[in-house]
Each structure stands twice: as C-alpha cells, then as structure tokens.
Structure 1
Amino acid sequence: MDIQAAMGRFFDEQGNIALPPELTLAALSEILFQMDLAAGQGDRHCMRFWDYSSSREGEAIDFTRQQINTRIKAVAARLQQTAQPGDRIAILANNSPEYIFSFMGSMYAGMTPVPLYDPTEPGHADHLNAVIGDAQPSVVLTNSTSAAATRKFFAAIPGTQRPRILSVDALPDSLATQWQQPQGAPKADPVDTPALLQYTSGSTRTPAGVILTHRSVITNVLQIFRSIQIQMPLRMVTWLPLHHDMGIITAALVNVLGMQYEFMSPRDFIQQPERWLRQLAEGEGNVYTAIPNFALEMSARVETSKSYDFSKVIGLIVGSEPVTEKAVENFLEKFEPMGLDRQALRPSYGLAEASLLVSTPQTEHRPRITHFDREALAENRAEVVEQGVPLVGVGQVVNAQKMVVVDPETRKELPEGQIGELWAHGGNMAAGYLGREAETQETFRNTLGERLSDGLPEDDFWMATGDLAMIVDGELYITGRLKDLIIVAGRNHYPQDIEYTVDHASEQVRPYAVAAFAIEGDDVEKLIILAERDLDKDPSGDEAAIEAIRAAVTEAHGVQPEDIRIMGPDEIARSSSGKIARRVAKKRYLSS
C-alpha cells in the first residue's frame, strides 16, 4: 500500500485538508486495513510489545496486521453487546497491547474512549477519582495485569452505579466476527463527533476532559505526516504512557496506518533507559520516536554496555515539557559518535487542546538553540546574545494550521521578537472541554484583533494556548506559561528559567525535580523554591545546598528567594504524566 498516496487524497491542490463528512478514525483504519489485506499484507508484522515483568532481557510479544485487527474487533463487538453508541469507555491499564486494542476497539464500536492509567500508579488516586466522576464511563476496559486493582478501585461504589469492567485479554478472537459497523443518525456528521476524551494532567487546574473529534485527530495526523515528511518503511519505538496525549495519538497514528510499532512501559524505561536505546538501534526500517526532555538527560547518563548504531534514527521528537540546551547537547555528545544524526532531533511543541502537535522543525537547521538577553526577556522582547538564557527552538507551525503570538490583553498580533500568548487555528483544535462552557469559550472561541500578517482566519475559532512564546527568525520559542509567570517587583521571571538555575546550583539537587513559584506577600510576590534531594545524597548536605541555591538564583535572576526547601525524592507533586505540578506544589506549600 502506498501510504503517501493514501494520505494525499485528503489534501486539495492548495494544501488544505478536506475530510469526507462520514470519515472517522475507525473508518480510516478499516479502509487502510482492507487495502493491506487485498495486497496480501495481512500477515505483515506490525506490533511488538516488550514485557520485562519476568525477564531482564524482556519478552517480545508480537502481532501481525490481521491479529491486531481481530483483537480490535473482538473488543468492539463485546462493547456493542454491553453499551450504547456514544457511551464513554474508560481504559484503566498499563502500557500493553490490550491498551491499544481497547482504544481502537472503543472507536470501532462507535463509542468514545477515555485513556487513563493503571489505578496502582502512585499518588494519583484523587486525579483518577475526579476524572471518573466527570467522565461517567459506562464500561471500564482493563487487562489481567491491572484487573484486580481496577476492581478494587471501584469496589466502594454501589453495584448499580458501578461501570461494567471488562478484561480485554479474556475476550476470545471469535467475537470479532460479531462486530458490526456502528449505525445510527448522529446530529453531526460522523467526522465531527467525539473520537476520544483526553483528560488534562491536572497540573494547572482540576482535570478537564478535552473533547477531540475525529476531525481533530485525523487532521493532526495528516499535519504530522506531511510536516515531518515521514519516510517509509517506518518503525516507531516508544515507551510513552498511553494515557498521555503524545503517547496515545502517536500510537493511533502508527496503528491506523499499519506501520511498525515497538513499545514498552514508562517504568521499564526509567528503570533501565538502555532498553529504549537498544530498541532504537536494533531492527529494520526508518526509526522514529517521541520523548519528553528528561529522557534525553537520563539516556545521556547511561553507561551503555556496548556501542550502538543509531544511523537509522531519523526522527526523534522531543516535547511534552520545556526542552533544555543541556539535555540536547549532552544527548548529542553521547550518541553522535554512535551514528546519530544531529538533525534527527526535533524539539517540538503541542498540547492536548490541539490534538497533539502545533509546531516542529521543518528546516535543515535543527535543533536550533539560541541565547537571549535576560533583561530583554523580562521586558517581553527578544535580544539575541552570545551568552545568555538558552532557549531551544520548537520549529515552525505544521502545514494546514495557523499560529500567531498575541498581546493577551488587546489580542493584537505581535511582530517577531515580541513575547506574548501563543494562539493556534486549524481543524485539529478540540471541540472544547466536557461540561465546561465558560472555559471552552475562553480557550477555543477567540477572535484575533489587529493583525500584521495576511491570510489569517477572521472567525472566532482561535485557540488560546495559555503559553508565552515568541517567533525569532521564523523559529518558535516557548518562554513559559502565562499563568505561571513569577512577577517580583514588576519584573517577569519564568519558573523554568529559575528551576534550571537551581538544577545546576548544587549536586545535592535531583535533576529535573525542582518547583519554583510565587506566593502573595504584603507588597510584592515572594519566590518559593522546592527541590528534591538526589537519590544518592545525604540530608546532611541540605543546608549547604540551600545556600548555594540562594546565591545562584540571586546572582542569575536578581531576586532573593523567600523560602528554599530541600525535600526527599518524589515528594514534590507531579502530574499523572510525571511532570512537576507547580500549582499543586504551591497549594500544598500554602496549606502546610
């Protein structure tokens, strides 16, 4: 099957995306599967899951194109027997083949998957309770590994109010023959009905369900495919959590298109990052992967048992959290001698409200790292210098999407080099937040004010990301969260900038385990810094670390921290995707 031709049918002569009204992700998946089947590709290997639960070397669990389709249809058929079209289906499981079958099976059944996680994930019980209460799923899909914890999680709910729980790996293949194409007459075209409900991590607010339609996701899949200029044959290697937008949309993309997908659990990567490195290097095809910034640093610190050949890695997407100069350069220093092409690194920007991707490098100059004057940044403008605050560029807006930087007060488009709020516009934007009309209007229904560029949409479907950014020489740089800005004595300070300084002030500090935020004072905001102690450090070194942090932050940022606390490993609040949750950390600090 010619994937390029199959995808090209959805673009018009001007490069705009035009989707048939009856198209859904399940329909697209089935069309492409039948094309593969007709071409004799049903026995082609497509999925490999690495299970490290009983072996240090891992057990490879493989599926062909036909086997994947059969398992998806078995799930879909069982759902059609137990739930109604349009119902929400929660997925509570660890990374596994069953997770993919559950996700796609829900769509094949004409229902809406809600990707979540294994209830045994530490520290996230409140988040999971809030999400389940908001989503109100009629069925919960899990697997044998997570079934006991899932049933225990719902045990306190009266039986009549409890969603039905199904263990996907207990469903026989024979069910697949009972699957039927979803019927019904929806109020909207199928392409504009919900495809999935993606919950925010809760790091910046109470978890909100982002309603992604089939149009949203398919549009972004097409945008990603064209902007990254995917080379075939492709092999995607990942450990990203499947409840996270970057993990599940990536999984959906490669499985719908019938590409090779090789994955494992996040825990197995964190315990031994070399597993991921080995999978990148071994096997055939053009290798793509997607990771957050901290994985670059973790991998660079690995004492590899042998030299690998990374020459087949042509796409390494870095996103989900701010990308740092140190992590990028350390990773390249370690692995360029093993054949890794520097241009393979693509620091990118996206968010669930845009399905996944907004921008990624589309020039040969990548990754682009630029240093900016700190004083100028505090004044919301860019001034490039030889030595200053390093920011990693996240490329250009993907094709068939618009992006502008605006003044959040006047909504006026700002010129290059000015810092403002990033807005985006395109068919990949979510339909809104479940049950939150005011937040939906505030985020997704914005109209651009005075404009500097030609051809920008004049409707009220601009999405306000809440992220501060600037465009310099055609490159997008993210400078912080609009609502996370620390303003002391009228000066802007980005928490990521301060956290970077703290991270490098003392070896006592655990890498990427710092939270900087401001609390109200009598006259000005006060800076609070929380830092976790590194795993091999003794508490006796905490006082010296606090003094080193205080001196480094004062010198670099011109602001005296009001309070600095060294905490034990994993004591700073994190989101369900593992990122530092500043808002939650601040709330806990104020209540302590």
Structure 2
Amino acid sequence: MARGSRQEYIAPEGLLRIEDCLTADGAVELPPGVTLPSLIERNVAHVGDSVAYRYLDFTGSDAGRAVELTWAGLGVRLRAVAARLQSVAARGDRVAILAPQGLDYVIGFFASIKAGNIAVPLFAPELPGHAERLDTALRDSRPSVVLTTVAALQAVESFLDHLPPALRPKVLVLEHIPDSDGDGFTPVEVDVDDVSHLQYTSGSTRPPVGVEITHRAVGTNLIQMILSIDLLNRNTHGVSWLPLYHDMGLSMIGFPAVYGGHSTLMSPTAFVRRPQRWINALSDVSREGRVVTAAPNFAYEWTALRGRPAPGDDVDLANVVMIIGSEPVSMDAIAAFNEAFAPFGLPATAIKPSYGIAEATLFISTTAPTAEATVLYVDRDELEAGRAVPVSADAPSAVAQVSSGQVARSLWAAVVDPDTAGELPDGRIGEMWLHGNNIGRGYWDLPEESARTFHARLDSPLEAASHTAGVPATADWLRTGDLGFYLDGELYVTGRIADRVLVDGRTVYPQHVEATVADASPIVRRGYVAAFTVPGDDGERLVVIAERAAGTNRADTREAVDAIGAEVLRRHDLTVHDVKVLPAGAIPRTTSGKLARRACRAQYLDGAWA
C-alpha cells in the first residue's frame, strides 16, 4: 500500500467494519451488541499479537522508553482486573481511576467497564491545582472502588483520608492484581444504553459535573469521528499526550479499539517539558501510515515556539492529521504551527479546527478532510448584537472567527434563540442545540438539571433552510450553553453564554477583550489573559488579569497597564477598572487547559492578588 494512501485497509476477518455501522442511507447505527468491551474482545481474538497501546516513558531518559501492550496482553490484564473488581464491587458501582498517565490507566478504565461497573476517569491527587475538582468528583460519584498504581498509592490514600468515612472507597493497586485472577471473571451482558463512564466536565464556567456517557454514545461518536476526519484507512494510528481523564484523551484510546490499531501515548508533563517529543512521535508513526493527534491552542503555540526540530533533523509529518479543539480556536496558533512545520512535510490541510463537548461524548464538528483551516472576519459590534456580519480583516471592528467545519454524520446542530426555543436562520448568533445518539444520558444525580439541559424541546424550527430536517417534533435536544452561527455551510463557535459579561450596558465576549490586551503590550503572555466583571457601586466593572510573557520578569508593568487600559478603551469603548499583571502560571486553568474565568474571578474577589 502506498504511503499516505487513503484507500481502505482490508480488515482482518472478524474485526468491525465501518460499513456495518451504517444504514442503507448512510446514517450511523451501531450493530447490536457493539460496545468497547466487545470490540476489544474482537481484537484479542483476531489481531491479538498486534500492538494495542504504546507508552513513551520519559521519566528516566530524554530518549524515552517505549512500553508496549498487545491486544492479547490487554485482554489478559482486563480479565484479571475486572475479576478482582467483581469480587469487591456490585454491578453499576462507580470505579474511579486515580492513576498517573500510562498503560495501567488504560487497563483500569477498560477493566471497570468490562466488569459491569461505571468507570470514573479522574487523576492522581498530585496533579497541581486541581484538588478541589478531584474532591468534588469523588464526593459526587461516590465510587465504591478506586484503582491506582504503586507510584500514586500514598498520595491517593492520603487524599481519600479527607473524605467522610462513609464515602471512602476501597483502594486496589493495579500492579498487585495477578493475571491469574482472570480465571474468576464472570462475563457480563452489557446493554448499549447502559452507562459506560462518567465524564466530568472541565469546570471552566461552573463546578464539574459528571456526564453519563452510554455505550451507544461512545460507539456512535467514535464512528462519527472516523468518518468526519477520514480515518477509514485502517493503517491509521494515534499519538496523544492528552490526559486520559479528558474526553479527547479517552477518544484517542477508544478509536484503536474500533480498528484493532494502536495509539502511542505519553504524559502531558513529558510534552510540556519538551514539545519536540510530540513531533518526533508523530514523525515515527507517520512513516508507517496515517497518524491522528489532538491538542488545544496552547500546545500548537508552545510547540511552534519550543518544539522545532533542528535543521536537517529527519522529521516527516506528511501523513499527520491534527485536531485543534479549543474554544475558540486560534488562527494565530494554527498559522504559527504551519509556518514552523511546513518544512517537515506538514500538509496545509493537516490541522483540523473542531468543536466538541463532554455532553456529546466529545466530537461535534470539524473541517472537511481536504480543506485548510479558514478564518472569517465579522463585525464585533454586530456580533455582540447577535448577528454575524462579514467585514474585511483590516476593518477597525473586525474579529476573527475560525470555522469549525461541518457537523458529524447523524448529528443535528441547530442554532436556537435560548429565550424562545425557536431556530434562528444562518448568520444569526444563538445557542447551539444538539440531537443524536452520541449525546450523553444526563448529569449524574442531577435529574432537574438533566431535564433542562438534555431534554429541551425546539418550539419552532425554520420552515426553510432548517438544520433540524429529519428530527421528530417531539425529540429531545441538548442545550450546549455554547453560542455560534452558521454561514455558507460552515459552523462557527463564538463563545459560552456563561462567559459573556455585561458591562456599560453591553454584552461583551471576554475573549475579544483578552485578545486586545495581548496586542496592547509585549509584556502580556498571549493566550494567558482573563477578562471578567466584578460588582461596583456604579454597576459591573471590567477586570483584566494577564500573565507575563517569557523574559519580561524584570520589566516595569506600569506602562503595560496604561497601554492595556488605553487599547481596550479605543477598540471596545470600555473602561478597565483594574489590571493585574502576574507571573506565569498565576491564572487558574481547567484540567483540559482552558481558562477558568470563574475560578479566576473568585480568586480576585478573595483578594488573592491585592
């Protein structure tokens, strides 16, 4: 097979075929009984000697030590861990994975599902700055068992000691479970509408909540992703450093289960310390066939800055597909990465701006396989008023909107007036509502909020050019809380309803102010600015928190503060009440790397940076 060919690879007998997951009219519909455990069992039976997951361990060497797990080896470990879980937990009990990135994490996640439990992918307590999120998730999900590793055991036990006795789960160490335990495994009949796992939201605009993801939602979303990104060539593999407790990180270990392929994993810390490790891993797999990866804005910016190979390095990115899924996607990040890595074969079409949320399992839309990332400039004032009006890039009020492409097959996305529940025409900004089999079942133990969010009813679809065609009038819709619009067949995400701020009588998107702040002074670290409002005697007041750029620690901030205030006033006609310029790392971020504006505002009000 020619290198980079997109002709479908002939599957070994017995593996799932993508065409078996499509109806006669091309809609995504899983065959009966298809779940992650059943897919893994197929792979164990038919491609057992093939590598399933490879972990690059950089803890002891800059070169990295590759640890591999075949499908057969994975099958042995899953039976053993699942059998042990069956001996200490009842079916439907939650099993939390509190472990570092690595193959044991993969085993723990899949084994929890295989045992008939509900997996709760979390993280080891040593993750800096996220103890409150972990505590919230544990108290909410109430796991009966925690799976961890030898390396994390002490930290896990110390953390669990702070829970009330009634909530303290039993702790199992994955390495201490022998393969022979698998002899006691009892097969479990799993219904596709049973809950596979709880995916906790990032907490960027509210405390984290657990989304109930069913087996049907998992399988449907993986097929949608494979079709949308054109991963039909079975000689496609993954490379990922994304945390395995994150929805995209889980998808990167999920899609090889569909194919019987493999993913190469590394830790987020290994990537951050030396981003060229990501590039080298992509290059290595690119030589074998197609390779897919995913990351948020900051990773592309960081890699373009610190991860460039040396001239003459043997790096080949010709077969790479790169998902960028931040909200909103930064065209500057894409341009910087393309400029840095085009000399190493990176196609102009490689980077795929995409949109996804935990409530939809993950994937919602992406750009076409043969399309380059595109940006549309719209008038900022019109955007704030709810209309997308294109302008030239050099217009004084122009703001960039990166296209998120087309919605996945068998998923409907309507732009809706959140107050009237009526569908809005193309070019109007509204809340995006979703309908499809990839949508989660609801929020764990929150029936009223689940009803409001997952079971909304669309009152008045458009009579012409509706994006709801084919959906029954009585169907449930998911309210995403995200704002966006359609234009010329493309979907654009403009921001979150909860993030918008009301200041000086206007509703403002904070990311527009944040971009202006980054442009105002070289002291500001681009992408590390948070804008929000706080109450004052004369109404809401605008506050800006900005981190210092590298190499500016000794620079006087007074000039930068004045420049920021002046530029925000000039571009937005808004008065900045307060500006804080802080060291790198000061602004709280979610576990997926998003700005945590809610937490940042809370810290400011608590006087953290007085």
1:245 aligns with 2:222: no
> What is residue 20 of structure 2 aligned with on the other side?
9
For the 8 Å contact 1:285–1:312, the answer to whether it is kept is no
The answer to whether the aligner puts 1:415 opposite 2:415 as a matched pair is no
Partner of 1:519: 534
Corresponding residue number in structure 1 for 2:547: 532
1:259, 1:177 → 2: CA distance? 27
Q: 1:450 aligns to what?
A: 460
**Aligned equivalent of 2:42:** 31
Q: Is the 1:29–1:257 contact (alpha carbons within 8 Å) kept by the matching residues of 2?
A: no
Structure 2 unaligned regions, length at least 5: 1-9
Q: What SS does the corresponding residue of 2:140 show, helix, strand or coil?
A: helix
Aligned counterpart for 1:173 among listed residues 153, 158, 179: 179
Cα distance, 1:160–1:374 mapped onto 2, change above 3 Å = closer
In structure 1, list runs of 5 or more residues that go unmatched. 184-188
Q: Which moved more, 1:575-584 or 1:20-29?
A: 20-29
Which region of structure 1 is more displaced relative to structure 2, 571-580 or 519-528? 519-528
Letter in 2 for 1:337: P
Distance change >3 Å, CA 13–CA 123, structure 1 → 2? same
Answer yes or no: is the 8 Å Cα contact 1:246–1:320 preserved in 2. Answer: no
Q: Is the 8 A contact 2:240 2:264 kept in 1?
A: yes
2:264 maps to 1:262: yes
- Contact 1:238 1:289 (8 Å CA) reproduced: yes
Contact 1:508 1:541 in 2 (8 A): no
Amino acid at match of 1:259: G
Tell me which residue corresponds to 1:186.
Answer: none
Structure 1 pair 52/589, CA: closer, same or farther in 2 (3 Å)? same
**1:211 corresponding residue in structure 2:** 212
From the superposition, tell whether residues 5 and 431 of structure 1 become closer, same or farther in structure 2 (CA, over 3 Å): closer
Q: 1:159 to 1:418 in 2, by over 3 A?
A: closer
Q: 1:190 is matched with which residue? A: 191
- Determine if contact 1:192/1:215 at 8 Å carries over to the other structure: yes
Stretch deviating more after TM superposition (536-545 or 18-27): 18-27
SS in 2 for 1:417: coil
Q: Does 1:405 align with 2:415?
A: yes
Query: For each residue in 1:567-587, what CA deviation from the matched residue of structure 2 results, as whole angstroms up to 9, or x when unmatched?
Result: 222222222223210011112
Residue identity opposite 1:527 in structure 2: L
Task: Indicate if the aligned counterparts of 2:349 and 2:369 stay in contact, CA closer than 8 A.
Answer: no
In the alignment, the residues of structure 2 paired with residue 535 and residue 101 of structure 1 have an alpha-carbon distance, to the nearest angstrom, of 39
* 8 Å Cα contact 2:52/2:256 also seen in 1: no
Give the deviation of 1:511 after TM superposition.
3.0
Q: Hey, what does 1:62 align to over in structure 2?
A: 68
* 1:485 maps to 2:500: yes
CA distance in 1, matches of 2:553, 2:164: 47
Cα offset for 1:271? 0.7
Q: 2-side partners of 1:348 and 1:239: how far apart?
A: 18
Q: Counterpart of 2:565? A: 550
Separation in 2, partners of 1:32, 1:42:
6
Tell me the SS of whatever aligns to 2:514.
helix
Corresponding residue pairs, total:
582
Please tell me whether the aligned partners of residues 104 and 149 of structure 2 are also in contact (alpha carbons under 8 angstroms): yes
Once superposed, what is the RMSD of the aligned Cα atoms?
Answer: 1.9
Residues 170 and 312 (structure 1), Cα distance of their counterparts in 2 relative to 1, 3 Å cut: farther
Distance, in Å, in 2 between the alignment partners of 1:31 and 1:58 is: 31
* 1:274 match: 276
C-alpha distance in 2 between matches for 1:436 and 1:280 = 41
- 3-state SS of paired residue (2:147): strand
Q: Say which of 451, 465, 489 aligns to 2:480.
A: 465
Q: Is the 8 A contact 1:232 1:285 kept in 2?
A: no
Aligned equivalents of 1:566, 1:128: Cα separation in 2: 29
SS of 1:89's equivalent in the other structure is strand
Q: Cα distance, 1:10 vs. partner?
A: 2.2
Tell me the amino acid that sits aligned with residue 451 of structure 2. Q
Shift in CA distance, 107/550, structure 1 to aligned 2, threshold 3 Å: same
Would the aligned equivalents of 1:486 and 1:494 in 2 still touch at CA under 8 Å? yes
Paired letter, 2:586: E
Q: Is the 8 A contact 1:21 1:190 kept in 2?
A: no
1:518 partner SS? strand
1:504, distance to aligned residue in structure 2 (A): 2.7
Residue 520 of structure 1: how far off its partner (Å): 3.2
Report the Cα distance in structure 2 between the residues aligned to 1:161 and 1:483, rounded to whole angstroms: 32
Q: Tell me what 2:590 maps to.
A: 575
Counterpart for residue 577 of structure 2: 562
1:216-365 equivalence runs, <5 A = 216-230=217-231, 231-283=233-285, 284-302=288-306, 303-306=308-311, 307-362=313-368, 364-365=370-371
CA–CA distance in structure 2, aligned partners of residues 271 and 406 of structure 1: 43
* Secondary structure of residue in 1 paired with 2:17: helix
Summarize deviations over 1:483-506 as a string: whole Å, max 9, x none: 211232333321111112222322
Q: For residues 408 and 156 of structure 1, do their structure 2 counterparts lie closer, same or farther at Cα, with a shift above 3 Å needed?
A: closer
Change (3 A) 1:274 1:434: same
**1:262, CA displacement in angstroms?**
0.3
How many Å separate the matches in 1 of 2:478 and 2:374? 26
- Three-state SS of the structure 1 residue aligned to 2:413 is strand
The 1:564/1:308 distance shift into structure 2, 3 A limit, reads farther
The match for 1:505 is: 520
Task: Output the CA distance in 2 between the equivalents of 1:131 and 1:539.
Answer: 40
Residues 278 and 308 of structure 1 are in contact (CA less than 8 Å); yes or no, is this contact kept in structure 2?
A: no
TM-score (norm 2): 0.92
Q: Deviations over 1:430-453 (max 9, x none)?
A: 110011112111111111122122
Which deviates more from structure 2 when the two are superposed, residues 91-100 or residues 442-451? 442-451
Q: Give 1:435's match in structure 2, choosing from 445, 450, 453.
A: 445
State the secondary structure of the residue aligned to 2:556: helix
Structure 1 distance, partners of 2:116, 2:419, is 42
Question: Counterpart of 1:569 in structure 2: which amino acid?
Answer: A
CA displacement at 1:254 relative to structure 2:
1.8
Write the deviation string for residues 302-350 of structure 1: whole angstroms up to 9, x where unpaired.
2423445434333111104321111011111111121100111111000
Deviates further, 156-165 or 502-511: 156-165
Shift, 1:539, TM fit: 5.0
Deviation at 1:28, TM superposition (A): 2.9
TM-score by length of 1: 0.94
Distance 1:319 1:102 in 2: 26
Paired with 1:78 and 1:585, the residues of 2 have a C-alpha distance of 42
User: For residues 53-98 of structure 1, what are the alpha-carbon distances to aligned partners after superposition, in whole Å with 9 as ceiling and x for unaligned?
Assistant: 1111111111222112222222111111221111100000111000
Report the residue type matching 1:499 in the other structure: E
Does the 8 Å CA contact 1:406/1:423 hold for their aligned counterparts?
yes
- Could you tell me how far apart the structure 2 residues matched to 1:409 and 1:521 are? 28
**Paired position in structure 1 for 2:119:** 113
Contact 2:200–2:210 under 8 Å retained in 1? yes
> Measured at CA, do residues 50 and 32 of structure 1 come closer, stay the same or move farther in structure 2, by a change above 3 Å?
closer
Structure 2 CA distance for aligned equivalents of residues 489 and 155 of structure 1 = 48
